[in-house]
Structure 1
Amino acid sequence: MWIGWLVIMEEFDLQSLLSSNEKLLIYLLQSYAETNDIAIFILGNEDHLRTGIFGDLSAKDELLKIDKTADLSKLSVNKFKYDLEYSDAPLKVTLLSQRVGKVCVAKDVDSKPGPKNLLIMQMLQKQVVYLRHAIESISKLIIENRGLDDFIIKYPAANDETIDDLSENEGKALQKIKTMSTSNSSIISAIEYIDDNLDKRLTLDKVSSKVYLSDYYFSKLFKRETGLSFSVYLNARKIQKAMILLKETEKNVNEISDLLGFTRLSYFSQTFKKYTGYAPTKYRTEDGN
C-alpha cells in the first residue's frame, strides 16, 4: 500500500489472535497437550515461538533457549538430537488466504529411531492435522466476530527495504544459485513453482500467494533464506535457462526471450548481459561459460 511516497506494509498479528477471546486458543492447546500427553507450540512465519511449549517435553528448556538466539526451522531435521518425535502443519487465515505460522506437536522418544518411533510419528501427524483444523476454525469465528482489521499491523517500510533490488550484484547471482540451499518448506515450494514456470511472467504477489504468505513477509523470508531478492533469483534462473537454450538449441534470441516470458527483446538482452557479461548472440558464439 502506498500513501504518497511512503510504503505502508501490513502483517497479520498472530500473537494477538492467540491471546484474543480470553486466550481461548491458548487454553485449547494447553488442554489438548495435557490430555494427549504431547507437547504443543505455535511458530510464526519466521519460525520463532508465538506461544509457550505446552505439555511435558524434556527438551523444553533447551528449545526455549535456542528460540531466543535462532529460529526453530530445522527442528524437523534435528528432532533426534533432542530425543523427540515431531510433526507440524501450516496455519492459514482463510479471510486472507495467507499462511501465518504453523502448529507443532512433539513427544519424548528413545534416542535411537525404531518401530515405536514410527508409530508415535504417525500419531503426531494425525493430531497436528486435527489441531490445525481446530485452530483455523476457531480463528475464523474470532476474526469474523472482531473484524480482520483488529489483527493487522501496519507500519512504514524502511528505506533500505524498498530499494533492496537496486543493491544486488546480478553478476554473482548465477554462481550463488548453484550452491544455494534452504530447509524452509515455504521457500522450497516457491522455488519449485518458479522453476516449473520460467516461461510465465511471474510476480512477487503471484508466487507469495502460492505459498500462502503476504508479499512483504515472503520477500523478506526469500532474501533471508536464499541470499537473493525474489526478482534477482527469478531473473537469474531465467538467464540460466537461456544460457542452456542458446548453447544446446537452434532457437533464435527472440524465440528464447518469448519462451522465458520477457516482454521485450531489448529487456531480455539487457538482463542477459547484466548477469553474464555477454550479449546473448555473443554468448552463443563465444566460450561464455
Structure 2
Amino acid sequence: MVKLLIVDDEHIVIESLKFIIEKHVEGVEVVGTARSGREAIEKTLNLKPDVVFMDIHMPGINGMDAIRHIQASHKDVLFVIITAYEYFQHAKDAVNLGVFEYLLKPLNKHKVMKTLQDIHEVIYHKREIIKKEMMLREKIDKILPHVEGQFMYSQLFNSNIIKDITFYEEIFGMKLKKGYVMMAILEEIKLDKKEDNLKNSLVKQKFYDAFKMELKNACPCLMAPPLLDRVVAYIPVEEDADAYQIRNAAITYAKSIAKRLRPIVSIPYKIGIGKSYDIDYFSQSANEAYIAVSISNQDTVIHYEDVQLPSSSIDIYPASKEKMLIHKILTGNMEEALGVFEEIYWWMTGHYEMDVDKVKSKLIELLILIQRSIPQIMNSSSIIEENYLLQIVKINSMEELKLSYSNYLKTTILNLEDSKEKEIKGLITKAIKYIDKNLHKNINLNDVAEDMNMSYHYFSRFFKESIGKNFVDYLTDLRIQKSKEILKDVTVNIKEVCFMVGYSDPNYFSKIFKKVTGMTPTEYRNSVLSQGVI
C-alpha cells in the first residue's frame, strides 16, 4: 500500500482528492491531511508517507519551502505539486526539487488517477529492488562465513598461492596481501565421564564464539572454524606498515581480548602471534604463532619475536599427536586429521629450522607409522605408499611438501573409507543371504551374529545402521512378505505356510500377520482370490 499525505489550505480540494482516490484508485491510502506547510512537515515526521500532494500557496511556510524541509530528512518521499498558478518559476523550482508531477487546479480526475498510478508503479518497482537487494544480502551473509572458512582452510592445509587476491579482497571488504596469524590454543583437559566431556565441548565452543566476536570487533580479520583445540585468525595489515608497530598492535589486540574474555570463559588458553608476511607465506606466520604458544610458559599472550628460542628449538616431539592423527585417519575424520597433521608439521618446521631434508625424513617416518597402523583392507595401500615415497623424495619446497603430504592423508582417508564401505556391504550381503537361506528355521539375532563371527551387541547395532531397521523388524517383514507369496497357492494350508516361514505356532503367526497387514492369513488369501490374483 502506498501512503499519501494531502497538503492544501482549501478543504474542498482535500475532500475532492480523497473522493477520487477512494473511488477510483487502488493501492493508495490517504494517511493524513494538512492545511499548512508547518503542519505538513510535522505530519510527515509522524506518518512517514510515500508521497505528498503539496499546494504551493499556503499561509506561513509555503509549499516549496515545506518540500525542502521534508527532503532534508526524508529523501525517498515523492512530491506532486498542486496549484492554481501556472508560473514558470514554480515549474522551474519543482524541477530543481525533483518533484514527480505538477498539477493545476481545478484538478482533473483522470490526471490525478494517472499520476497516482505512475507513482504506484515507481514505488513498487523501488520496493522490489530493495527486496531483492535484501534477499541477496541475506544470501551473501549466509554464504560469506563458508567462503571465509574455505579460504582459511585452503591457507592452513593446502598452502595454496592465491592467484586472484583481488577477488577475495572484494568479497571480504579488506586488503589481504599482507598480514599475520593469531592463534588461540586451549590447554588440554583430561576428563573421564561423558557428561564432563560434553560440558568441556560446550565450554570450548563458548570460548571460540567469544574469541571470534571480540577479535572481529577489534579489527578486520578472517577466522577459520575451530580446529580441535585451537582457533586461527588472519589479521591483514597495510603493505607499507612498520613491522614494529604491527607487532605492538597485535599484542594490544590479543591482550585486550584476553582481558575481556576473563569474566566470560574459565578454560585455560594461550594466544600466539606470528610475524606479518605476504599472504603467500601464511604458513610461516602460522608456524610462528604455534611455536610461540608451545614455548610460552606463563604469558597468556606471546609474540613469536618475543620468544627466547632455545638452541635446540622445541625439544619434545609431540608423539601423542601421532597417535591422535592415526585415530582420526582410522575414524575417517578428515578435517581433524589435517588439523593434527598441521600441528605436527609446525613442530617439525620450527625444530628443524625449515630444513627440507630433515622435515622430509621425519615425515617419511610418520608415513611408515601410518602404514603399519592402517588395517590391510585396502588392496592398493602398498602401491599408494610406494608411489608417495618416491614422490616425497623429489620435493624440495617446504610448501609443496606440506601440500603433498596433506593430499596423501586425504587420499588415504578416502580410500580407507571406501574400503570400509565395501567391506560393510559385503558383510551385510552375507548376513542377508544367511537369513534368506534359513528363513524357514526359527532363527534369531544370535544365530546370524554367530555366523558372521560378531558379538551379539555389535551385530545388532551394525545391522540396524546398515539396513535402517532392527533385526526383528527386518526378519518379520521378510517372513510376512514370503508368507503372502505362499498364500496365493491354495494347495498349501495356513499351518504349512506358518512352518515354511519359520514360525512354530500358527496362532502366533496369524497374530503377527494381522498386525503387519491388517488381515488374518485366511482373510488375505480370500482377498487375493476374490481379486483374481494368482
Give the TM-score category using the shorter length. Answer: 0.3 to 0.5
TM-score, structure 1 normalization: 0.42
TM-score, structure 2 normalization: 0.24
Between Structure 1 and Structure 2, the one with more helix by share is 2
Larger radius of gyration: 2
